[in-house]
Structures are given as structure tokens and as C-alpha cells.
Structure 1
Amino acid sequence: MNLVKLAWRNLLRNKRRTYITLASISSGCAFALFIFALIGGIHKKTIEDAARMLAGQITVEHPDYRDAPGPGLFVPSVAAMQAMAAKIPGIESVKPLVAGQGMIASGAGSVGVAFLGVDPAIEGNVSPLARNMVRGRFLLPADVESRGVVIGTKLAERLHVDLGNKVVLTTTDTHGEVVEELFRVMGIFKLGSDALDGGLVEMPLALARGVIGLGEDQATQVGFLLENPDSEERIIVEIRRTLAGQPVAVYSWTTLLPALASWEASGTRGHRVICAVVIFLASFTILNTILMSVVERKREFAMLLALGTSPARLRVQVFLESFLLGLGGCAVGLALGSIAALITARQGIDLRGSVKDGAAPTVGNYAVSLQLRPTLTLEDVAFVGVLVLVLTMIIAIYPTLRSTRIHVANTLRSN
């Protein structure tokens, strides 16, 4: 009789034992896949939030801006970048930014800050900062006239200012001259990062241009937000080809946010290790159930050996049973883990209330997302499934060898 068919019949002969073994394999597989997807979702959300708050997944700058950021190093035409983006599929929106550094002061003192000029019409829809206002509101186009800015909670505490209070920003313009500008606080945000909540000021793009002396079509950075971050490599090649020979440089977010890029790379390796550890711990349960199923069948194996079945054939049969169990357990486990990940991705797990004062862990001054939404890919499913199946097969080696290490006569005489 075909050994695969015989192994299948043996599994169906004792459904209770089979279900217990399947449950141990599938639960370990499902839990590992869910943890894998959860950690991947944390990485993706944190990086996406940082990219959307700043200059997007792809950024165009003056070639020398990275080495020595200054107001005199700018992109000459934002309109040209927007026209180019309209011809490249996959670009969601274009973000012109004016970035600078200076001192902001109130009657209570002064603090060194980074300021960012943004287009309120764009930023209000894409930036996580706009969704994290704790008092007041985010910027509006009308704030150009009222000279409105938004600041972080930590900065508001240090300056002892609240909504409607005035602050003075001191910085240098494109000519290297010191300038002072008066602004009014329209909103206060909280991102969970001390560096951003205590040292970032956002204002309308037109105001920032006026402060440092840029023209209406100029910006220190032009960012591109992508519909699908996985298309970044293709789009960055197209942008570089289109802008070849022009006095600008094109960067990926990995260059502008090196700390997050390093965190993602190490995290990808790390959560694979975590996944392997979870499966390794589950393997003890899998080993126990497979081994017990072999021990319970000692009399059956002894009878087969007494009737002339070769030990090698018996081992192959037991190994095939373990393989079928592993295959079925992985299929059920991957299905359960995927369903759990998809349901959690839709509902989300909000852990922001569990941290003290809302201060999330940070990577490179950017808060790690505490709104957990698992991200599942076919690559993740394949990795976990293959890992569990291979480990199950390795575990099955010992019970397989144990199946023929019995004294036939004594086993048959025993009750």
C-alpha cells in the first residue's frame, strides 16, 4: 500500500491524537505569524509618519544642502517639480518645505528650535502632526495674515505660552543677516517625542519664505509622498533621470532619516529572530505531542515489526505522518494568524494611554508608533510557514527513530 495513503489513514484512525498535535503546531505558527506582522506594522507606521511629517519618501534639495544646511541653498522652482510629479504615476502629492533654525523667545525666556514652513492645504491632510493637536488647531491658509504658528507641548511649557500668546523668532535670511519676526501661537501639538515637542515650530509656507527671504516659487526642500512606499525605487530612478543635469540632488528617506533606516534594517533581522524564538518555544509542545503519539503506539509498531515490516519502512511511515501533521498544522496556523492580523489591522491596538505622559519610545528623535496595526505580506507568510514546517520535520526525527527502538517480544507480551 502507498505509504502516504497509509500514513493518512493512521492519522484519521485516532482523530483525538491528531487534533491535539495539529492544535499545537497551528497555535505556534499562528502566534509567530501574528507577532511577525505586528512588529512589521510598527516599523512601517513609524517610518511612514516620520516621512509624511517631513519631506516624504523622496526629497529633492540643493546638492550642498545636506553638507551645510542654510537658507541660501534652495530648490529654484517648486512649480517645475510639481509638473514633473504629475507625469510620474505613483506620486500621491508634492510637499514644498522651508526649513531653518533659530531662537524662539517669549517673556519667560528663549529656546533653540527648528522651524518648518509647510503648505497648510497639503499638510493638514497628510502629516501626523496635524492629527496630534492637543490644544487649538492646525495651520490654515489664513494664518499667513495672522502670522500663526503651531508649537509642541514641551516648547509651550518652556516658554510659558498658551494659545493666542506671541513669540519672537530670531534667525538668519538668505543674505546671512539676522532677522526677527513676531508670531502668534494658534495650536499646540504632542507627538510623543521630547525633541519634536520641545524644539519644532511649524508655520505657513509663505510666512517661512518671507522670514528667510525666499521667492514665491522657492523652497529648501521638495518632498514626494508615494501612494505605495514599495514603489520608491522605481520612482526615484524616474525622478533622477528627469532631473539629470539640473542643480538639485534626489534622496530617499533612508538618507534623510538614517536612524530610522538603521532601525528598520536591524528590526527586520530582529523580528525574524523573535519569530524563530517563539516557534522554538512552541516546538517543545510539538515535540511532546508527536513523541507521545509514538509512545502510545508501541504495541502497534511491535506488531508491524513482528509481521515483517522493515524498521526503515516503519520509520518512513512515521515520518510521513509527522510531515502531514506539520503541513496541515502550518496551513491552519497561517490561516488563523493571517485572520488575526487582518482583523487587528482593521481595528488597531492603541497603546498610547499605557505610557507615562504619552511619551512614546523614540528612534532618532521620532516617536515609535503606539497605534499597532499589523502589516502582512506574502513573504512573511512564506517565511513563517517554511520555518514552522522545517522545524516540525527536525523535531520529528527523534520520535521517528524512537518508533523502532522497541523490544518486540516484550512489548507484545505486555498488557
Structure 2
Amino acid sequence: MINAIWSMVFKSLRRNASRNALQASLIFFSAFAMAYFAQFLAGVTRNYTDNLVHLASGDMFIASAIAPEDAENLFEREYEFLNIPQDVIERIQALPFVTEVHPRIDHQVRVSLPEDTLVSGLSAFDPTLEPKLVRNFSFNEGRMINNDAYEVIVPSDLARRYQISVGNSLPMLARTSTKKMNLVNFEVVGIFETNSLSAWFNNYMYTSVSAARSLINDPTIVTRLNIHIQDADNKDEALDGVSAIINENLASASVPAALTWWEDGAEFFTSLVFGIEAGFFIIVGVICTILACSMGLATIIGVIERTKEIATLGALGAPPAKIRKIFIMESVLLSDLSSLLGVGVAAIAFMITLKYGIPITNPELQGFLGASKFYPAFDIAGFIVPFLICKLVTANVSFLVATKACKRPITEALADR
């Protein structure tokens, strides 16, 4: 009995191939669109909005500002070096509300390559001590840098563009604290992907603090202090204490210090995150609703077109349950094959997009997202749910329409046609 029903299902699919093609195409497109958009939604959440929250919470940055009329900045950085001895850092660490202090060195360098000279940023920090920063990019090759070695990890886009591989030696030319030039060879020990928040990561190579200080020829040089506080409500008290210590340390220096908060935008970033995610959820929800309604309409049309066949089977004495089973199995089988194909193509498109990214050419959008490319993120539910939606919509709609058609006399069905 079951084999006979399946035989009728396959014969019907072949016999109505041209009529089923439209419905199959629509289901394929629906499954593809829903699965692919789901990965984009995950990409927005994980690669952008989550990191906005992390970076906007409890960090204070201190940098020295350069006066254009007083000095020439060879590498067009917005700040000069800060000479901060360890005892000053310890005093800041001892302040109320301050939980962590991480010296940072962000420094422009020139990398001498065989056929080109690359001007890039060099960022020195200890990744094991700054977990917030570690979450904003992923290492896909190499190892963590040693704190006292002339080693560097380069971003993947620079590695591809200039054919840089692990094990290569990169000669870096940098200005020292006395405005002389210093040339040091750094070994490439890793390549990292920068698929997250900021385009800043796409332009910076990473090394250890010790190596960067040796490059600058000053053991007390930093360009920025990354200060974590207990709570955003304590920022004013912490700012006053840090300002007093920094100004005291720089009393005889010619370069002024500028203290800035990333926390100032925390409430805005929180609202922005909610708005971005809500907007994408609404967009994806509207798209899924439209596609689901379209699938339901296509299924209704497909079954109604065959009311004569349904009524004929009923008039010949076929049990209504058997008729419903045939048409439901036919619709579900068509839906399963089409949606599986759509989800499969979406998975291939996702992997391609994940590898190469989607370039963002609009400067305003680049600045808004802080990235030059958009990357999706893997969401297994985004591949399963579209298949289930297609299956449930076609099964329920075909059941309702076929049930109603089974109750109509053959003369009425013929009159409608």
C-alpha cells in the first residue's frame, strides 16, 4: 500500500513537472534567502554589536597630544610618546575604582619589502592580559608572541597582499624616542583574521611590549594606558585621580596629555546595539513572513489547480485519507527537495562569504561599522529553521486545501475549471 502511494506521488511529480517547477523554485529561493540572511544576522550580532558593548564598557585611554606647531610627526600619528615609569603605573593601579592598567604602544613603522615599502601600524600589548582585545580578533595561524622576542603577528589581508608567510623576516624602520630612526628585523610568527569590530585591526601588526620598547629605544615609553575601572559610575573619580598623577609626571614635559573615555558612548552604544539587532530581526522577520506566505500561496495554487484530479479520485471511491496523504506527501517531498537544495546553496554561499567577506565601499557605512568588509557568522539554527518552515507551510496548506477539495462533488470541481 505504501509503495503504491509513493509510486503515485512520484508519477504525479513527473506528470506535473512544469506546474511544480514554479513552486519548487519559490521554495528553493525562500530556503536560500532565509538561511543566508540568518548567517548575516549572526554576523551582525557577533562581529559588530557584541564588540561594541565590550569596547564601550569601563575603559579609559590616556594619550599624549601633539601640537602641530611644536613638532613634526613623521608618521602622522595623533600623539607622541609618553614617558611613564613603572612606579607611575603602580600609583594609578592603586587608585580607588581602578582594577587594571595595561601599557600599550601603538606606533607607525615602515616595513621594507623586496618590491615595496609598507607603512603600517605596530600595536604592542600582552594578549593574555587584555581579554577584551583578544575577543575582537581570532588567530588562525601561529602562536602567541613571546614577551621579549622580536616577533610579530600580521593581519591576513596584508599577508595576502604582500605574500608574507610565517617564518619570514620583516625589517621594520621606526622613529625612536629621540626622533632618530631604528631598524630591527622581526620574525613573522603568526597570521590572524580580522573579521570583527574595527578596521583598526586590519591596519595593525602585533608585537610584544618589550620588542616595541626596544624598537623605540626607551624602556619607559608607552603611547597609551588602557585603564579598566570597576563601574562606569566611578569614571569621574577615577579620571580625577589619574589626571593628577599623569599631569604630575608630565609637569616638565613639552607634550601635553589628553585623557579620553570610551565609556562616554556606552549608553549610546547600548541603544545602537539594540537598534541594529532589532532592525535586522525585523527585516529578516518580514522577509521570512513574505516568503512563507508566498510558499503557502504557491502551494494553494498548485493544489487548487488539481481539484479536478482530487475530485475524480474521490468520485472513484478513493478514501479521503488516502487522497490527502498522496497530495501532502507530494507537496512535502517537493518542499523537502527544494528547501534542502536551497539550504545547501546557502551554506556554500556562506562559506565563500566567510572567507572573502563582502566589501563595504560606502565611507560612512565603513565608519559606522568600523570595518571595510562584512563577514557573516555560523548559526546552525539558521540552516535548520528555514527547512522546517518550508516543510510545515507546505504540509499544512496542502492538507487544508486537499481536505476541502475531497469534499467537493466532481461536477462542482469540473464547473470551476
**Normalising by structure 1, what TM-score?**
0.51
Residues 395/268 of structure 1: CA separation in 2 closer, same or farther (3 Å cut) = farther
Q: Give the match's secondary structure for 2:217.
A: helix
2:319 maps to which of 310, 326, 333: 310
Matched, 1:359 2:367: yes
Q: Which runs of 5+ in 1 are unaligned?
A: 56-61, 83-89, 97-119, 134-138, 152-169, 186-197, 202-256, 362-366
Cα distance in 2 for residues equivalent to 1:370 and 1:24: 33
> Where do residues 214-229 of structure 1 align in structure 2 (5 Å cutoff)?
none
Q: CA deviation at 1:334?
A: 0.4
The equivalent of 1:131 in structure 2 is: 202
Distance in 2 between residues matched to 1:408 and 1:357, nearest whole Å: 61
Alignment match, 1:44: 46
Matched with 1:93 is 144
Equivalent in the alignment of 1:69 = 98
Contact 1:42 1:370 in 2 (8 A): no
Distance 1:358 1:20, change over 3 A: closer
Q: Which residue of 2 aligns with 1:375?
A: 377
SS of residue in 2 equivalent to 1:360: helix
Distance change (3 Å), C-alpha of 1:65 and 1:274? farther
Q: What is the identity, as a one-letter code, of the residue corresponding to 1:360?
A: F
2:74 aligns with none
User: 1:129 deviation in Å?
Assistant: 2.9
- Partners of 2:95 and 2:376 in 1: how far apart? 34
Match of 1:45, as an amino acid?
A: N
State the partner residue of 1:26.
28
Q: 1:179 aligns with which of 238, 243, 249?
A: 249
Say whether residues 1:400 and 2:409 are aligned partners. no
State the Cα distance separating 1:28 from its structure 2 match.
0.6
**What is aligned with 1:279?**
288
How far 1:329 moved relative to its partner?
1.9
Does the CA contact (< 8 Å) of 1:298 and 1:411 recur in 2? Answer: yes
Q: Kindly tell me the number of residue pairs found equivalent between the two proteins.
A: 278
Distance 1:357 1:66, change over 3 A: farther
How far does residue 9 in structure 1 lie from its aligned partner after superposition? 2.1
Kindly tell me: are residues 66 and 403 of structure 1, through their superposed partners in 2, closer, same or farther at Cα, counting changes over 3 Å? farther
8 Å CA contact 1:40–1:375 kept in 2: the answer is yes
State the 1:4 CA deviation.
3.2
Residues 414 and 65 (structure 1), Cα distance of their counterparts in 2 relative to 1, 3 Å cut: same
- 1:223 aligns to what? none
Which residue of 2 is the match for residue 332 of structure 1? 341
Q: State the SS of the aligned residue for 1:359.
A: helix
Give the partner amino acid of 1:131: N
**Cα displacement (A) at 1:51:** 10
| In 2, Cα distance between equivalents of 1:121 and 1:277 | 51
Taking the aligned partners of 2:23 and 2:95, their CA distance within structure 1 comes to: 58
- Once the two structures are superposed, residues 218-249 of structure 1 have per-residue CA deviations (whole angstroms, 9 ceiling, x without a partner) of xxxxxxxxxxxxxxxxxxxxxxxxxxxxxxxx
Give the equivalent residue in structure 2 for 1:115.
Answer: none
TM superposition shift of 1:29: 0.8
In structure 1, C-alpha distance between the alignment counterparts of 2:47 and 2:378, rounded to whole Å: 13
Q: Distance in 1 between matches of 2:278 and 2:366?
A: 28
Shift of 1:386: 2.2
Counterpart of 1:145 in structure 2 is 217
Deviation at 1:410, TM superposition (A): 4.0
Please state whether the residue corresponding to 2:144 is helix, strand or coil.
strand
Say whether the 8 Å CA contact 1:37–1:375 is kept in structure 2.
yes
Query: How far 1:171 sits from its partner (Å)?
Result: 7.7
The separation in 2 between residues aligned to 1:29 and 1:339, in whole angstroms, is 13
Does the 8 A contact of 1:30 with 1:336 survive in 2? yes
Mapped to 1, the partners of 2:413 and 2:267 lie a distance apart of 66
Query: CA offsets, 1:342-363, max 9 Å, x none?
Result: 2222221122x314385315xx
The answer to whether the 8 Å contact 1:121/1:140 transfers is no
Distance 2:365 2:285 in 1: 34
Q: Shift of the alpha carbon at 1:44?
A: 2.8
Runs of at least 5 residues in structure 2 that lack an aligned partner in the other structure: 58-89, 104-124, 130-139, 148-185, 205-210, 226-239
- Assess, with a 3 A threshold, how the Cα gap between structure 1 residues 8 and 71 changes in structure 2: closer, same or farther: closer
TM-score by length of 2: 0.51
Task: Indicate if the aligned counterparts of 2:34 and 2:382 stay in contact, CA closer than 8 A.
Answer: no
Q: Partner of 1:93: helix, strand, or coil?
A: coil
> 1:349 aligned to 2:400?
no
Contact 1:40–1:268 (8 Å) recurs in 2: no
- Between the aligned partners of 1:386 and 1:178, the Cα distance in structure 2 is 66
2:417 matched to 1:409? Answer: no
What SS does the corresponding residue of 2:21 show, helix, strand or coil? helix
Deviation of residue 295 (structure 1)?
Answer: 2.1
| Alpha-carbon distance, 1:150 to partner | 8.1
Task: Specify whether residues 26 and 142 from structure 1 end up closer, same or farther in structure 2 by C-alpha distance, changes over 3 A only.
Answer: same
What residue in structure 2 maps to residue 241 of structure 1? Answer: none
Equivalent residue letter for 1:388: C
Q: Aligned ranges for residues 280-299 of structure 1 at < 5 Å?
A: 280-299=289-308
2:36–2:346 CA contact under 8 A, matched in 1: yes
Change (3 A) 1:172 1:17: same
CA contact under 8 A between 1:322 and 1:393: conserved in structure 2? yes
Q: Report the counterpart of residue 11 of structure 1 in structure 2.
A: 13
C-alpha contact (below 8 Å) 2:42/2:379 kept by paired residues: no
- Cα gap change, 1:269 to 1:179, in 2 (>3 Å): same
CA RMSD after TM alignment: 5.2
Aligned partners of 1:27 and 1:333 also within 8 Å: yes
Identity rate, percent: 14
Structure 1 residue 383 displacement after superposition: 2.8
Q: Once the 2 structures are TM-superposed, how far is the Cα of residue 33 of structure 1 from its aligned partner?
A: 0.9
**2-structure distance, mates of 1:269, 1:348:** 23
